A and B are shown apart, each in its own frame.
Chain A
């Protein structure tokens, strides 16, 4: 069994989970950089191969180890992590092509699991409220990660046609969130003041990191051929998510959004690409009914996944503070009925500012 992208958070966790499963003979992790020392401990009996999936060396690894299963998790979302957009595209697209070419040549191959994203559906106001796996996006993503993912999926489909004997699971994940994981979204929601697009409040759908690993594990050890949207049930509005994290938001008029976004990227705060900016306007929600029916198991809901993130980040506006302010105000008002005091309207405004 081979896991690509093993040095990054989800790859490490999946490899560690698979290594802990005694029914799996060998787990080989591949990445361009070695895993961090603390991750290496986690990986257990996973054998690490430092290889670039962009060059044909990967074919040798697959052939020599007689790999029968590949989990492809090396489609990366952020140019910062890859060392620029060009390198990112190389790793995503050329890397996938090389990997699939190697897999196609390997007679031992039985199963391929690919981690993709719901970003392939794009994000536009003309889309239905929920995307199903068969939805045709109204506007194909034109740049960045989402475009890479669309191309990767194209190659994966091609591979599926040429090797019909290989079980193929294509998993489209919604935005990951959780107690540990770092993504552009978690960094965005950790900003002290969260910038949003004026006049828009997108619906967002989240996937708990543990559930993401669980789905990948189940697709690796069980047989679940097909395309599946993976994410929690239910949605949160962005404004609601920001309030749950106890942050304040400020609205940026949409003509200025790209400038502000570039500023944030340059400051190294949040790495948001243009198509993620569109996501901040129109949001994206996928129907996960097919996954739940196939696995007979449901990931945590969007709200619960959010809660796990809320607990890790220090809140600026704590719900208890708000509740206390409300109680204090009610007590003051109840007292006012008996004791003369200041007018009700001035005190009514206080908790709003608190």
Chain B
């Protein structure tokens, strides 16, 4: 049961505490009487954490939580999925965010970003950036590839974390219910590209994301992520293995599979996530505009160019890959 983990996380820092308490108490001969009545939340910081953890555990055990139509489990995401990502975000990649105020506090928006890094850590970090550092603590609803939702274990986790299948129906439904939707139009072409092609944007799919934004009249926010390219420098791709496993690519990096499990540790590159100026689509004519392929292509190109030029600017400003 994955939920059992959270109590461990919360319990660990508390464990040494009773020991020191006990040692201190051993000197006092008279113990004070035990408190009676219902357990009000105790005063100490660790007790509060523990009480919170227990309440969470109770909610999980009795199914007393809500999921939305897409299967987004806010409670689980908040308490289980996001906490282990925070050290990675703060300490390992030292993510710096820019232009977070370009993401609206309320209302739908479509976040379009470059995709890289062999494993979609860039998606997780962008989610955390918006959740922890945006004033409205917005939940990013990512659109994932088919493959994600066919894989056992991965599929339910992806859904519970608020993601859904990349299709126009879902994108429009989320946007029209005022969610922030994230999309990586490069897909596997972007995330699985060789290290030599880093920061070169790949083709942007078929522009489905633009027509979803047009139809719902929501702004498109181009996002440029610098640093994710260097976490797993992809120098090769085992074609036979990928065909055998039915995966789009099987990465070979300088450390994987050479160093085995150690090779899975990402390189500690310094990350910058820049949220660009929103491109408004509300005035363009809604559903009729989405039926105009030329407009869709032009808008797609505009988004792509914006991300590409921001990437180059950010790379110029970066002092080194790791600092």
Contacts and interface: CB of A to CB of B under 8 A. Distances in A.
Interface of A: 125-130, 132, 135, 197-201, 203, 234-237, 239-244, 246, 254, 285, 303, 317, 319, 322-323, 326-327, 329-331, 333-340, 343-345, 348, 351-352
A334 B54 CA distance: 14
Nearest to B152: A199
A243 B59 CA distance: 10
Top 5 closest A-B pairs, CB basis? A199-B152, A243-B63, A330-B39, A201-B156, A244-B63
Given A348-B11, A352-B57, A125 B73 contact: no
Contacts of B54: 326, 329-330, 351
B259 interface: no
A129 to B, nearest CB: 5
B152 A334 contact: no
Contacts of A351: 54, 57
B36 to A, nearest CB: 8
Nearest to A128: B169
Contacts of A348: 7, 11, 50
26 contacts: A125-B149, A126-B149, A126-B165, A128-B173, A129-B164, A129-B169, A130-B173, A135-B169, A199-B151, A201-B160, A203-B67, A234-B69, A235-B67, A237-B160, A240-B67, A243-B61, A303-B66, A323-B58, A327-B39, A331-B34, A331-B39, A338-B31, A339-B25, A340-B25, A343-B18, A348-B11
A199 B69 contact: no
A130 B69 contact: yes
B78 interface: no
A309 to B, nearest CB: 13
Contact of A340 (B26, B34, B66): B26
B15 interface: yes
A339 B69 contact: no
B145 to A, nearest CB: 10
A228 B32 CA distance: 66
Nearest to A337: B21
Contacts of B88: none
Contacts of A337: 21, 42, 44, 47
A52 B21 CA distance: 79
Contacts of B35: 331, 334-335
Contacts of B26: 340
Nearest to B39: A330
Given A322-B58, A340-B31, 10 more contacts: A125-B149, A132-B169, A199-B152, A237-B71, A246-B62, A285-B69, A330-B50, A334-B42, A339-B34, A352-B61
Interface in B251-270: none
B18 A129 contact: no
A336 B21 CA distance: 9
Contacts of B69: 129-130, 203, 234-235, 285
Contacts, number: 151
B153 interface: yes
A237 B154 CA distance: 15
A134 to B, nearest CB: 10
A199 B156 contact: yes
B155 interface: yes
B118 to A, nearest CB: 22
A157 B34 CA distance: 73
Contact of B71 (A203, A244, A330): A203
Nearest to A246: B62
Contacts of A254: 152
Contacts of B136: none
A243 B159 contact: no
Contact of B61 (A125, A317, A334, A339): A317
B51 interface: yes
A302 to B, nearest CB: 10
B15 A128 contact: no
Contacts of A333: 42, 47, 50
Contacts of A242: 63
A313 to B, nearest CB: 14
Interface in B41-76: 42, 44, 47, 50-51, 54-55, 57-58, 60-71, 73
Contacts of B154: 199
A334 B155 contact: no
A252 to B, nearest CB: 11
B146 interface: yes
B21 A236 contact: no
A336 B169 CA distance: 55
